């Protein structure tokens, strides 16, 4: 009986407390729009009624002087109305009460538009230090004020995040020389997360026919695993000991249409299907060459292909075929170590060349499906 009464009493007390809390919340909700600290009403009003924006936002910042969003909106509204001094004061106040990214970013933009260098770089440096998103918009502003990327980076305060952003930005603008400088700084950090970006940059340099810069960049990647040093006139990963990366000066492997390709250490094997097109590229590598004669030595085997396999090597420069090897003859797989062959060619200009192993059906022959295997390919100057 006693327990029952005690239980009822506790239940009643809990119910009363819950009711009280609910009532307090309800009262608070009703009075919320006019209580100190709630600026949402005025900010909403400013958005809905642009002519009233400034007075509404003034009321908002009076209610809550620590509301940085209201200060920023008031600053931008003042700027729209041509009141630059008021705008600057509000944005500086926003920065003072909120030391996060957004107020600094807003000030950066405002002082950029006002062409106030001193304040622009102060705010931009602050924003850069707190930037966690894509820094491209900040970099674009900085680049308009300081077109020298390295100088701009110094002013913004060096950081790997900014350097990555700058590298992407400069690549997008094809500003290779500055991009090289930024990439060099980034590569010194040796951070594995930068590997893909730097490989991508090397590919862009090659596409832009910046062979020398690409070679330098490629060799800066040595600190990352799986990148062999490249030099002029030498092929990288000549024994296929590592899986071709498809980047920079490493092999780029293309699966033949409707066929397949398989890599294992020291062997690259292609399967050409019966429906493989009459011509396709199987393997390519960029190489820097000086004018002169070169000898390509390679080991290969075939199975199922015709006597005239359709396989050959080509050297391309500037999108044009400069030299083409004779057709490779059939080299049965049962022959130990395959067939070691050589091909001599000459180039007349220094630059970036693309060595490719291609398949091209010989006119007058029928296409036969089969395997083609490459064990090594090395270049030397005789």
Partner 1 sequence: MRIDFLRSALAAGLALQLTASQGFAAATVPPIGTVVTAGAFRLNRATVRSNGTLFEGAMVETGAAPARMDLISGARLEVESESTVRVFGGRLVLERGATQLARAAGFATGFLVEARGLTIQPDASAATTRIVLIGERRIEVSALAGSIQVFNSGGLLVAKIASGKALALEPHWMPGRARMTGRLVTQGSHYLLTDETTNITVEVSGSALTKSDLSRSLGQRVEVTGSGYRGTAVEVAQVTPAPPAAGTAPAGGAPTGTAPAGAGGAGGAASGAAISATMIAVIGGVAAAAVVGGLAASGSLGGSTAAPVSR
Interface positions with partner 1 (CB under 8 A): 47, 65, 69, 72, 76, 79-80, 84-89, 92-93, 96, 102, 105-106, 109, 111-119, 133-134, 136-137, 140-141, 144-145, 147
Closest to partner 1 by CB, 139 vs 230, is 139
Q: Count Cα neighbours of 35 within 13 Å in the Cβ-side half-sphere.
A: 8
Per the CB < 8 A criterion, the answer to whether 198 and 187 are in contact is yes
Q: Are 217 and 183 in contact (CB under 8 A)?
A: yes
Q: Smallest gap, in angstroms, from Cβ of residue 127 to partner 1?
A: 11
Q: How far is the CB of 102 from partner 1 (least distance, A)?
A: 6
Nearest approach in angstroms of CB 204 to partner 1 is: 17
Give the shortest CB-193-to-partner 1 separation in angstroms.
19
Q: Which is nearer to partner 1, 82 or 364 (CB)?
A: 82
For residue 370, the cross-strand partners are 272
Shortest CA distance to 84 belongs to which of 111, 119, 105, 61? 111
Per-residue H/E/C for the chain: CHHHHHHHHHHHHHHHHHHHHHHHHHHHHHHHHHCCCCCHHHHHHHHHCHHHHHHHHHHHHHHCCCCHHHHHHHHHHHHHCCCHHHHHHHHHHHHHHCCCHHHHHHHHHHHHHCCCHHHHHHHHHHHHHHCCCCCHHHHHHHHHHCCCHHHHHHHHCCCHHHHHHHHHHHHHCCCHHHHHHHHHHHHHHCCHHHHHHHHHHHHHHHHCCCHHHHHHHHHHHHHCCCCCCCCCCCCCCCCCCCCCCCCCCCCEECCCCCCEEEEECCEEEEEECCCCCCEEEEEEEEEEECCEEEEEEEEEEEECCCCECCEEEEEEECCEEEEECCCCECCECCCCCCEEEEEEEEECCCEEEEEEEEEECCCCCCCCCEEEEEEEEEEECC
User: Closest approach of Cβ 125 to partner 1, in Å?
Assistant: 16
- Which of 124, 200, 113 minimizes the C-alpha distance to 159? 124
| Nearer Cβ to partner 1 (111/359) | 111
Closer residue to partner 1 in complex, CB, 92/184: 92
**Least CB distance from residue 352 to partner 1, whole Å?**
30
Nearer to partner 1, 104 or 272 (CB): 104
CB closer to partner 1, 131 vs 302: 131
User: Is 49 or 260 the residue whose CB approaches partner 1 more closely?
Assistant: 49
Closest distance to partner 1 from the beta carbon of 128 (Å): 14
Q: How far is the CB of 234 from partner 1 (least distance, A)?
A: 39
- Min separation Cβ 239 and partner 1, Å: 42
């Amino acid at each position: 009986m006693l327990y029952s009464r005690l239980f009822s009493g506790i239940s009643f007390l809990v119910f009363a407390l819950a009711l009280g809390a609910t009532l307090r919340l309800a009262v608070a909700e009703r009075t919320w729009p006019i209580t100190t600290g709630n600026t949402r009403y005025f900010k909403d009003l400013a958005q809905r009624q642009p002519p009233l924006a400034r007075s509404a936002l003034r009321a908002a910042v009076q209610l809550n002087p620590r509301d940085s969003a209201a200060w920023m909106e008031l600053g931008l509204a003042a700027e729209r109305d041509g009141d630059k001094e008021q705008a600057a004061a509000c944005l500086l106040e926003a920065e003072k009460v909120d030391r996060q990214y957004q107020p600094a970013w807003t000030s950066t933009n405002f002082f950029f538009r006002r062409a106030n260098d001193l304040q622009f770089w102060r705010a931009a440096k602050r924003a850069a230090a707190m930037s966690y998103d894509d820094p491209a918009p900040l970099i674009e502003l900085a680049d308009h004020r300081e077109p020298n990327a390295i100088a701009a980076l110094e002013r913004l305060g060096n950081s790997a995040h900014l350097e990555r952003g700058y590298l992407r930005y400069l690549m997008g603008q094809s500003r290779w020389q500055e991009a090289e400088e930024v990439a060099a700084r980034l590569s010194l950090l040796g951070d594995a997360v930068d590997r893909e970006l730097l490989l991508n940059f090397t590919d862009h340099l090659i596409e832009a026919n910046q062979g020398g810069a690409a070679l330098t960049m490629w060799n800066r990647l040595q600190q990352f695993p799986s990148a062999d040093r490249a030099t002029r006139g030498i092929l990288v990963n000549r024994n296929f000991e590592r899986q071709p990366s498809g980047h920079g000066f490493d092999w780029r492997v293309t699966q033949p249409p409707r066929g397949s390709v398989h890599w294992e250490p020291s062997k690259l094997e292609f399967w050409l299907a019966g429906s493989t097109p009459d011509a396709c590229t199987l393997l390519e590598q960029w190489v820097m060459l000086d004018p002169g004669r070169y000898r390509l030595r390679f080991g290969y085997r075939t199975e199922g292909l015709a006597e005239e396999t359709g396989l050959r090597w080509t050297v391309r420069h500037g999108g044009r075929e400069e030299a083409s090897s004779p057709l490779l003859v059939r080299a049965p797989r049962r022959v130990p170590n395959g067939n070691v062959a050589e091909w001599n060619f000459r180039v007349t200009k220094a630059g970036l060349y693309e060595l490719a192993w291609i398949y091209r059906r010989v006119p007058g022959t029928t296409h036969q499906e089969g395997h083609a295997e490459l064990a090594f390919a090395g270049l030397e100057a005789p």
